Amino acid sequence: MAGITEILLSPANLVYLPLLYVAGSVVAFFLKTLRPEAFPPGPRPFPGLGNLLQLNRAFPFLTYGTLAKEYGRDTPLGIKRGAANVVVLNSGRLVNELFEKRGAVYADRPWLFLNTHVFKNDLRPALFYNSSAYHTRWRKEFNNNFGPMAITKLRPVYEAEAARFLVKLIESPTARKEDLEALIVCWMISVPCLGVCGRRPDYMENYGFSIEKFRQCNEDYAALGAPSMRDLIPFLRRLPFFGMTEWKQRAQSVREGVLNVGTQFLNAAKEQRAALDAGKPIAWESVLARMLREKREKNDEMFTVTDMGNAGFHIVSTATSAPLAYFQNMLMTLAKYPEVQERVRRELLEVSGGGPPKASDVSRWKYTEAFWNEVHRWRPVAPQAVPHVPTQDDVYNGYKISKGTVVIMNVWNIHHSEEDYEEPEKFDPERFLRHPFGMRLDKAHDPARMEASSTRVNYDFGAGRRICPGMHLAKLNLLLGLAKIVWAFEIVPPEGKEIDLSIETGLVQGTALHPKDFDVVFKLRDEHFKKDIMKHYSQAYEVEAEVFGWKDDEYKW
């Protein structure tokens, strides 16, 4: 026994064994970068890198679209991103076949080093969490409060918060760029915050909440959660000189920030819970207040206190980055195409009788709805959506898609298909008036057949079982806010500047695809709108105050 120990601990073995381990890891990794058997067709990979050098680094979805012309739009495209297997779906028909018809199979999310080794099980992000009893229950709780039926109860809140946003715009007539963006974000997350904990974001300072700090935490979290070289080249995680120490420290800092924000939301909800328990007339029981009640009354153990706060963070978080990018796209599109803006306004005035647009009017906005759909089609904020992962090995048309493979919807290519859309690069809201799906008027795109095959108007919100549950909330919030702005303000480009929304020079990809230079000007259409806006907000606030039990204008301004 002593002899074996001496051999293992000999100076030579102490050097060669680690080197052998590293060499074996490198060889194993290189083998994983090769295309597996029966993998969907795609370009030949380079050993060690896969197809990484062949992809457009800024917009890989453009490369996927080009490759689709070679390998077929309705054929899954196989890509090697380092050691990772990636399958790209370049058509809505493929999305329907895999994500819709086989939704139970394609219901997981990609494995991320971050989730497994940093957040572990005490910070379960719904967006990235795998299909499970926990995730199913989480979506149920969300839909109970923000689903299509539930949000009708929040209509007075949508009305009042959008009207309050107009007041803030009057108070800041010169707001541009970052200042205007800050006003937009405050309004945009007000309804989600009120729905989550019963408080507006700018009335949560006493809990330590700051909109600016929340946005920074959200951006850091999104950047940290994005797939990195550590996910693509696994053995890099074992190299201390690859920055792992600093990365883990940053990850822990972000984790603490997420937990702190969650605690702030939960503390606000506890105050509402106490008010409800004391019999205060509050018509809206927030998401977290209800979860607290159910945990107490039913001894519900599904959600821990940490889960509750985390749910609050993620609900408000998902109402921030992508919706902000989309709202910026809408504003800049209206500034770029004044004739479209004028037509939207004419419809709004016709429906409302000249008064401020209301939530009850939304279903009658046909052209405005077409505008909403066309912006999503033309400049999708999620051009690759959030990836799916099969829970088991699957075979489609003879191609093997193994469990754990990252499956991506190429939303950009789906929305810009020349087979499906006439002049796909042209911004044309009327295409959705001519055809309910905005597509070509031919037999292949018969609306009834497309409806029966579960075709979606757009894929910006995802598809299948992981489709965004907040899409109805986002649509009502953003459409109503935009409508009220167009009613009172003219949206114009800054003097001497042109609006650039081209993919080549006008857009950048961060958490969402957004304008590189967001800059528009709001011009009050007439001075009398100041009085009309103040009157509109006062009336809307009275109804909102009844919902939350507010007295004596305590939260009016």
What confidence score (pLDDT) does residue 469 get? 87
**CA dist 497 to 112, 320, 340, 493, Å?**
42, 27, 19, 6
Sign of CA dihedral 73, 75, 79, 84: positive
Asked if pLDDT for residue 203 goes beyond 70, the answer is yes
Cα 217 to Cα 309: distance, rounded to the nearest angstrom: 14
Buried b (16+ CB within 10 A) or exposed e, 404-423: ebbbbbbbbbbbbbeebbee
More confident residue, 149 or 463: 463
Asked if pLDDT for residue 182 goes beyond 80, the answer is yes
Cα 342 to Cα 129: distance, rounded to the nearest angstrom: 43
What confidence score (pLDDT) does residue 494 get? 95
What confidence score (pLDDT) does residue 487 get? 97
Strands 406-409 and 84-89: parallel
Cα 160 to Cα 313: distance, rounded to the nearest angstrom: 23
Rounded to the nearest integer, the mean pLDDT of the chain is 89
- Is residue 242 within 8 Å of residue 294, measured between CB atoms? no
What confidence score (pLDDT) does residue 33 get? 74
Adjacent-strand bridge partners of 85? 80
497: Cβ contacts below 8 Å, ≥ 6 apart? 519
Q: Over range 465-475, report the average pLDDT.
A: 89
- Is residue 365 within 8 Å of residue 348, measured between CB atoms? yes
Q: Where do we find the tokens 């020349």?
A: 418
Crossing angle between the packed helical segments 471-488 and 190-197, to the nearest 10 degrees = 140
What confidence score (pLDDT) does residue 115 get? 64
Q: Write down the number of H helices and E strands in the chain.
A: 22, 9
Segment 57-87, tens digit of pLDDT? 899 999 999 999 999 999 999 999 888 899 9
What confidence score (pLDDT) does residue 413 get? 97
Q: Over range 323-332, report the average pLDDT.
A: 96
pTM confidence score:
0.90
What confidence score (pLDDT) does residue 148 get? 80
Cα 547 to Cα 557: distance, rounded to the nearest angstrom: 17
- Is residue 490 within 8 Å of residue 525, measured between CB atoms? yes
Asked which of 68-77, 207-216, 217-226, 470-479 is least confident by mean pLDDT, the reply is 217-226
Long-range contacts of 66-74 (CB under 8 A, 24+ apart): 67/42, 67/43, 68/410, 68/413, 71/41, 71/42, 72/41, 73/413, 73/417, 73/419
Binding annotation for heme: 468
Segment 483-528, tens digit of pLDDT? 999 999 999 999 999 999 999 999 999 889 999 999 999 999 999 9
What confidence score (pLDDT) does residue 124 get? 74
What confidence score (pLDDT) does residue 222 get? 81
Cα 81 to Cα 57: distance, rounded to the nearest angstrom: 12
Binding annotation: 468
Asked if pLDDT for residue 220 goes beyond 80, the answer is yes
What confidence score (pLDDT) does residue 93 get? 94
Domains of the chain: 2-116 (no CATH), 133-414+428-548 (1.10.630.10)
Asked if pLDDT for residue 26 goes beyond 90, the answer is no
Task: Give 216's pLDDT tier (boundaries 50, 70, 90).
Answer: very high
**Secondary structure element (H or E) that encloses residue 481, with its range:** helix 471-488
Strands 521-524 and 489-492: antiparallel
Q: What is the DSSP letter of 202?
A: G
358's tokens = 């209301």
Q: What is the DSSP letter of 97?
A: I
Asked if pLDDT for residue 248 goes beyond 90, the answer is no
Adjacent-strand bridge partners of 523? 490
Exposed / middle / buried, residue 183 (Cβ in 10 Å: 0-12, 13-18, 19+): middle
